Structure 1
Amino acid sequence: MQATLALNLIAAAGLAFLPEAIALPRASLRRSPVSFALHLSAIAVIYACLLLITGRVRFSAFVAIALVALLAGVSNAKYASLQEPFVFTDLSLFSQLFSHPRLYLPFLSVATVAAIVIGVAMVIVGFVAETPLAQRPVGALALLACASLAVAYLCAARLPLTLNPVDDQKRHGFFAVFVAYLLNGMKPATARQLQDALAAGPFASGAPQSAPDVILIQSESFFDARRLAPSIDRAILKHFDNARRESVQHGDLTVPAWGANTMRTEFAVLTGVDQQQLGYARFYPYAFVRRACASLASWFKRGGYKTLVIHPYYADFFGRDRAFKHLQIDRFIDIKAFADAPRAGPYVSDMAVAASIVAALDEPRNQPAFIFSMTMENHGPLHLERVEAGEGAAFHALGDDPRWRDLTAYLRHLANADAMLGHLIAALRARPRETVLCFYGDHVPALPHVFVDLGYEPSRSDYFIWRNYGDAPAIRKDLCAEQLGPALVRSLEPVRPRGKPARTLYPTTEQ
């Protein structure tokens, strides 16, 4: 029996390399011995654990192989849409597949879904068809599982990784990299590294010396789409253009996300910490925020500010409700407050978010406000949205070809984001209190097929910092996401012409 178990393990370990052939980006079989050892030891752990639980030899070998194939298929779906393979932190978002299926399931192709269904059916049939062992070598299997796990940990620690999933996968193979990220990333050191980076970040000390109200808006999938082609209507972002001309500072924003993974850009802006300092936490930083830490919100709180988040979606998405408390957010207004708000497509409209921001500013209070708002209207999947014949003419001159359908849906929402800006800036300009508005896009939209057809693939979003007080020339300065918060802080103190009175201010705790 021992020989049979060993042969099945060897077969499973060898056959588990076959799914690597479908994993994108492709990896050469010319890899380091460490990556091969990590792949084989991980398969051995899975096989031994399944055999301990089920007692079914061939079934355990088949499931070990099928698991690699499943991960590779899901990874390919993610890579096709977001240019990034499946990484270990995506496992922690698995429950969101069921609670928010519209955000995930449409990105799985019919072939991928069919393969998953067939694979599950085969697993069930295999489990039922195979007779379990009458006597399981429990001790030997437990020893194999523990020894293999120890080898996997050693190999994962020794594997030379860049933490760029695409580059690492090309060099070491999909499954070895996935396992290495998982074993290395789940160590307590990951959370410690994040906390240490925040403790040394730009908001760990200091406090505001003045007290304007401050609004920070993260606009879903916003970027200046006119860069894609001259055929896109220039007037689609007229309010955005006006805001940039009147701004203190504006420019392109380099963000650590493409097509999705909003929380990476969000975390960089709120903490001022570069993803290189986060180690494995860079992929899903909120999962590793486990105690009170420094952030842009905590910096404002030291100046006596009330800190507020407005987001027209569920507070528990990405674990924001838990993480934001550690980031020193006093209050979170989420989808429950937008039950009767108008929609634009499947999500709450940007204009409704603007109305909520203005309402929050108008609440009676005796302290300044820092309001962080994330919009939702332009969230995909855009290919599920309805586009009428001829609708594209209002936004571009590319015609009604079906390949521009998703672009039309995107530009429709982009125009709504621009209208939101016009409404909000008009309201802020009329306010008696000094107010600062910082606006930026979290990432470009997931429209890879549109970008290919237009021959241009964007990677950066845009930002501006605007004030309703003081005089300053608009400075063009391109930034990285982690530099935006410090730039916002620097913009609070204007150079005011002699004799020009300040607008109404709240007192600060520093005075």
Structure 2
Amino acid sequence: MISALMWPLLVGLVMCSAFEALLNPRPRPFWQRSIAVNVTHTGSWLLLFGLLALLLQRPWFAVVVVLSLQLVVIQSSNSKSRTLNEPFICHDFEYFWDAILHPRLYVPFFGVGLAIAASSAGAVAIGAFFYWETSLVTSEGASRFLIGAFEVIAIGVLLLSFSLPKQPAITLQPVHDMHQLGLFASLWAYGVALMRAPVPKPEQSPFHALTEVAKAHPTEQSLPNVVFIQSESFFDPRSWCDDVDSGLLHHFDTTRANATLHGPLNVPAWGANTVRTECAVLTGIAPEKWGARQFNPYRTLSRHTLPSLASSFKAAGYRTVCVHPYLASFYFRHKVIPQMGFDQFVDISAFESSDKAGQYISDRAVARKIGRLLEDDDNRPLFVFVITMENHGPLHLETPSQDTLAATMPGAPWPLPDHLRDLAVYLHHLGESDKMLASVKSTLNTANRQGLLGWYGDHVPILPEAYEYFTPPDSRTPYMIWSTQGPEAQHLLAAGERLASANEPYELAANELGVQLFKQVFGHDISSVMIKAEPEPQEQE
């Protein structure tokens, strides 16, 4: 290896290792990690440095580029940990492209000023190094430079080939794995696990069997219209923060008191990553069944079809519609939604700019869209799955209004302290979600068919300042299933299945909620089918 590469390589390796101390939460020290993990770290640096040196022909410039990219990942990881309680994993690299396509959803969490400063510094560095640092092709000759660069790359590849198979097994708990392995080794481990993770089989979805129940239903006339709403960042903050007005969720309280089923929902997301909850609810497949694919299951579903709640309703003769007032391509929904069995996908193109409330399409506008869908009667029952957007962050891009505090936090001081500013914005939109609930109920009550309403939150909101001040809330969100027939509409479900009685809360996992909604419609049929399916007792030989 030529000496011109040696010093940049060694200095960069030391700085790269030191930069890991900037991660929050911080990984364990190198001397407490396994040899394989440390070899993976070293091999990763050699590979990245060698490739950049080969491309740029300037080793010190290559060091700065690699370290700058590492700092971007570290800052992204720290921002993600602060807002989502989860560090950066290899799945998150695709979000850099999403940040370019949808900057409002990502850049504010990274820091607009930091993003501008980093971009400006990068542009200055590129110009400076190209001007001051001599190309090694010029100073060392093309042959010596190429041999030296390929030697560095080859050593990096060999080290990784040795170390990656010997790394400790990951737990798929990102916080724990980052602490144990550090940045480079954990990125490799999650990448390898993702490539090796099998795609869930159709039989793993409960809707694979429930579709047959739906097909066997005798007539469409007795089936209710079903509206299933995934309310963005919906949770009940009143027990978490005493400053919140007790009447903020009046319609939610009234509906829950008359629900056929309600309680806390264990969701696999915090602050964001909506599709983790969404996928669990619609497919009925628990996150752990996805393995390393659980962190963005829609990437898999964009290429593979699995049974879902929508496809089961469709098998029973339902017209199935998904309403999401955002870009259809986000999270590959333009591919996933049709493959899940939806006849129609209503995205942001079906709304007007006047429908906005804050940064996104309002919940009231979505409620009006649901009403028009229910009025469009084609003699088939309707299943509408709704993914709202009004309460999506970043909340700090909106300014709280003193006029709304009377209905949200009447005792809060003005001007608001920092820990209440985002919370005030959130609570205003939460109140709008409550009004949407009342509107949808009213529409279902006046329709010709009976109606069923499912409602749940995908995750708690991103409110780091408020959480730091008040302590974080329970990660669970509320859910409920309400019928126009009243609480007595709850069907008798499968024998031995315990459900809440007398309106007591019944806790569910996210992957169980869609199944319970389905059973509210086809409960009697499910019970009879299960009874018929039980094998006859046989004598032991």
Between the aligned partners of 2:158 and 2:374, the Cα distance in structure 1 is 56
Matched with 2:469 is 453
The offset of 1:54, in angstroms, is 2.0
Matched with 2:86 is 84
CA contact (8 A) 2:205 2:306 kept: no
Give the alignment partner of residue 415 of structure 1, picking from 418, 428, 431.
Answer: 431
Give, as a single letter, the amino acid of the residue that structure 2 aligns with 1:248: T
Give the alignment partner of residue 484 of structure 1, picking from 489, 509, 513.
Answer: 513
CA contact (8 A) 1:68 1:175 kept: no
C-alpha spacing 1:402/1:230, structure 2 compared with 1 (3 Å) = closer
Matched with 1:268 is 280
Deviates more, 1:154-163 or 1:369-378: 154-163
Task: Tell me if 1:181 matches 2:190.
Answer: yes
Give the alignment partner of residue 239 of structure 2, picking from 203, 227, 249.
Answer: 227
Between the aligned partners of 1:359 and 1:223, the Cα distance in structure 2 is 27
The offset of 1:143, in angstroms, is 5.9
Is there any run of 5+ residues in structure 1 with no aligned partner, and where?
A: 496-511
Between the aligned partners of 1:201 and 1:153, the Cα distance in structure 2 is 37
The offset of 1:292, in angstroms, is 1.9
Between the aligned partners of 1:364 and 1:449, the Cα distance in structure 2 is 47
The offset of 1:291, in angstroms, is 2.3
Matched with 1:194 is 199
Deviations 1:300-341 (A, max 9, x none): 222222221101111011111112222222211001100255
Between the aligned partners of 1:378 and 1:125, the Cα distance in structure 2 is 44
C-alpha spacing 1:109/1:360, structure 2 compared with 1 (3 Å) = same
CA contact (8 A) 1:221 1:445 kept: yes
Between the aligned partners of 1:128 and 1:87, the Cα distance in structure 2 is 36
CA contact (8 A) 1:220 1:378 kept: yes
Matched with 1:171 is 180
Matched with 1:502 is none
Deviates more, 1:333-342 or 1:393-402: 393-402
Task: Tell me if 1:17 matches 2:21.
Answer: no
Matched with 1:308 is 321
Deviations 1:104-146 (A, max 9, x none): 1111236633345424532442234222222154356446535
Matched with 2:417 is 402
CA contact (8 A) 2:374 2:447 kept: no
Task: Tell me if 1:159 matches 2:172.
Answer: no
Matched with 1:121 is 124
C-alpha spacing 1:242/1:150, structure 2 compared with 1 (3 Å) = farther
Matched with 1:56 is 58
Matched with 2:252 is 240
The offset of 1:150, in angstroms, is 5.5
Between the aligned partners of 2:483 and 2:46, the Cα distance in structure 1 is 60
Between the aligned partners of 2:112 and 2:381, the Cα distance in structure 1 is 51
Matched with 2:480 is 464
Between the aligned partners of 1:458 and 1:337, the Cα distance in structure 2 is 35
Matched with 1:343 is 356
Between the aligned partners of 1:442 and 1:299, the Cα distance in structure 2 is 22
Matched with 2:69 is 67
Matched with 2:42 is 40
Matched with 2:402 is 389
Is there any run of 5+ residues in structure 2 with no aligned partner, and where?
A: 491-501, 525-541
C-alpha spacing 1:263/1:150, structure 2 compared with 1 (3 Å) = farther
Give, as a single letter, the amino acid of the residue that structure 1 aligns with 2:313: F
Deviations 1:256-280 (A, max 9, x none): 1111111111111111111111111
C-alpha spacing 1:248/1:73, structure 2 compared with 1 (3 Å) = same
Matched with 1:498 is none
C-alpha spacing 1:130/1:447, structure 2 compared with 1 (3 Å) = same
CA contact (8 A) 2:460 2:476 kept: yes
Q: How do 1:273-284 residues align onto structure 2 when only pairs under 5 Å count? A: 273-284=285-296
Between the aligned partners of 2:161 and 2:245, the Cα distance in structure 1 is 54
Between the aligned partners of 1:219 and 1:200, the Cα distance in structure 2 is 27
CA contact (8 A) 1:308 1:370 kept: yes
SS at match of 2:207: coil
CA contact (8 A) 1:341 1:352 kept: no
TM-score by length of 1: 0.90
CA contact (8 A) 1:42 1:179 kept: no
How high is the sequence identity, in percent, across the aligned residues? 36
C-alpha spacing 1:370/1:149, structure 2 compared with 1 (3 Å) = farther
C-alpha spacing 1:456/1:144, structure 2 compared with 1 (3 Å) = closer
Between the aligned partners of 2:185 and 2:11, the Cα distance in structure 1 is 18
C-alpha spacing 1:340/1:2, structure 2 compared with 1 (3 Å) = closer
Between the aligned partners of 2:241 and 2:355, the Cα distance in structure 1 is 31
CA contact (8 A) 2:236 2:478 kept: yes
The offset of 1:402, in angstroms, is 2.4
Give, as a single letter, the amino acid of the residue that structure 1 aligns with 2:108: P
Deviates more, 1:332-341 or 1:433-442: 332-341
CA contact (8 A) 1:253 1:462 kept: yes
The offset of 1:418, in angstroms, is 0.4
C-alpha spacing 1:229/1:62, structure 2 compared with 1 (3 Å) = closer
C-alpha spacing 1:378/1:291, structure 2 compared with 1 (3 Å) = same
Matched with 2:534 is none
The offset of 1:215, in angstroms, is 1.3
CA contact (8 A) 2:2 2:148 kept: no
C-alpha spacing 1:245/1:313, structure 2 compared with 1 (3 Å) = same
Deviations 1:328-384 (A, max 9, x none): 222110011002552211211101101111111221323222211111111111111
C-alpha spacing 1:288/1:129, structure 2 compared with 1 (3 Å) = farther
TM-score by length of 2: 0.85
